[in-house]
Amino acid sequence: MFCPALTATTAMMKIASASTIFLRRLHPNSSQSSERTMMKMASPSTMFLLLLCCSVFIPTASQSDCDMYTAAGRDFVVPLNSQTKDPLRLTWSRDDSIIFRRRRNDVLTGKADDVDENGSLRLKNLTVSQSGTYKPEVVSKTGKVEQNLKTMRLCVIAPVPKPEVSVMCEGSEVTFTCTVPEKDLPQKKDMTVAWYQNDKVIDEMKDWRVTYKVETVEKEDFSCNISNLVSYAVSDPVQQTCYKHIVIVNEDNFGDYIELFYGAVTEDPDRDNTEELLGEGNGISSSIWVFVSSGVGIVLALWC
């Protein structure tokens, strides 16, 4: 690091001494990565547990033509709601294909445990391809087909993945971005995002990225929660890595101290890492403002 020469020899000695202490604290071992500060987040808000269960009933068709939603990998029961006792024949179909048929006690298509004792259809370990319209047919012993049985349009949706939060430093601002794996990007349009700051929901933050003045969130934890109609997932919490305020006291001369501020860290376009600080060859450039004080106030300021 290069600093302009100081005209006062004593001031130079103070800065050199304090800078040595500072750099030793930052890099006690050159082979180690820069310190990262993270705090474990408490469990997500219970409101998500109340809103998101095994399936979500949509009372109107305004959002889509699905009557019920459930997550892939779960089990689901399509209710029969029949009034016919001991029917002669029970049939279940998905779209145009028969998936279960029973005549009296003989199962002709499917397996006996595909339905429960009431004739409701059991679907196990669902896949997205099992979305469709499920239609029952019940025929009584007299050969009469029961009318007005409910048909259900079921939509099976992949559960959301666990997101991550990336940090980008730009000038005096820091931007936190909620990201999902590339394979899940096609489903991103069906996901919603919410942000936590120190385990509290930020009601007004509904975008996939949020930006702050870096010094206002120096030690704040941020995480994002993504959700769809059947699931949710919360990222690990992160802190900004753009700015740090450190005070180093000169123990040899009571009343003297030096304050050092990281300036905003800027990302090298050839690197995709903004989470390391002042590591040699790490693709990150930064500034340090140094304020030298002696008891009653600041007597010197320089930029390195």
Alpha-carbon distance 304 to 9, whole Å? 17
DSSP 8-class letter at 112: G
Homologous superfamily, domain 73-157: Immunoglobulins (2.60.40.10)
What would the two tokens of residue 295 be? 């008891």
Alpha-carbon distance 107 to 90, whole Å? 9
Record: fold of 162-234: Immunoglobulin-like (2.60.40)
Prediction pTM value: 0.59
Q: 222: buried, middle or exposed (CB in 10 Å: 19+, 13-18, 0-12)?
A: buried
Q: What is the pLDDT of residue 256?
A: 55
pLDDT mean values, one per 10 residues, the chain (304 residues): 40 46 46 37 41 39 72 96 93 96 95 95 96 97 94 95 95 94 91 95 92 93 96 96 74 56 46 38 42 44 40
Q: 225: buried, middle or exposed (CB in 10 Å: 19+, 13-18, 0-12)?
A: buried
Q: 80: buried, middle or exposed (CB in 10 Å: 19+, 13-18, 0-12)?
A: buried
Identical fold between 73-157 and 162-234: yes
Closest to 71 measured CA to CA, from 26, 131, 20: 131
Q: What is the pLDDT of residue 9?
A: 41
Closest to 196 measured CA to CA, from 210, 181, 179, 215: 210
Residue where the block lists tokens 């010094």: 215
Q: What is the pLDDT of residue 262?
A: 53
What would the two tokens of residue 69 be? 């939603």
DSSP 8-class letter at 82: -
Contact 193, 202 (CB under 8 A): no
Q: What is the pLDDT of residue 261?
A: 52
Q: Report the greatest alpha carbon distance in the chain.
A: 110
Q: What is the pLDDT of residue 235?
A: 97
Contact 271, 282 (CB under 8 A): yes
Alpha-carbon distance 247 to 93, whole Å? 72
Burial 241-256 (b: 16+ CB within 10 A, else e): bbbbeeebebeeeeeb
Phi-psi region of 278 (alpha: psi -120 to 50; beta: other; left: phi over 0): left
Please report, for the chain, the start and end positions of each structural domain, with discontinuous segments joined by +: 9-36+242-303, 73-157, 162-234
